[in-house]
Amino acid sequence: MAKYDSKLDLCFSALGDPTRRVILERLARGPASVSELAAPHDMALPSFMGHLKKLEEAGLVTSEKQGRTRTCALAPDAFAPVDDWLSGQRRIWEGRLDRLDDYVATLMKDRKA
């Protein structure tokens, strides 16, 4: 059984919400203030801050306060845990599909013989 990774769970949970994915897409273009990030969303600021908190807890976003302005940015290597997990899954499934292809090729060869 695979080792339990709570960091990975937090990442997938954070990515599971469309509002948070829009925030991440915006931050992919560069840092932004909370008010700039919140502007396109039709929700109260406390609700929006909850989304940012979830992204920070997952390690996807960092924020810093300078004066009265809080600026958010994508965390360095933010998607590394997700990328590592997906790469592992890709290797597993590519191996399975290669074995299936070999099996089907053997069946076809046996059928022709």
Q: How many CB atoms are closer than 10 A to CB 11?
A: 23
What are the start-end ranges of the H helices in 28-79?
34-38, 45-57
56, two tokens:
């920070």
Specify the pLDDT at position 1: 39
Q: Which residue has the higher pLDDT, 3 or 94?
A: 94
Average pLDDT, the chain: 91
Put residue 105 in one of left, alpha, beta given phi > 0 → left and psi -120 to 50 → alpha: alpha
> Which whole number is the average pLDDT over 84-88?
89
Position 25 pLDDT exceeds 90: yes
Taking only the tens place, the pLDDT of each residue in 37-59 is: 999 999 999 999 999 999 999 99
Specify the pLDDT at position 79: 84
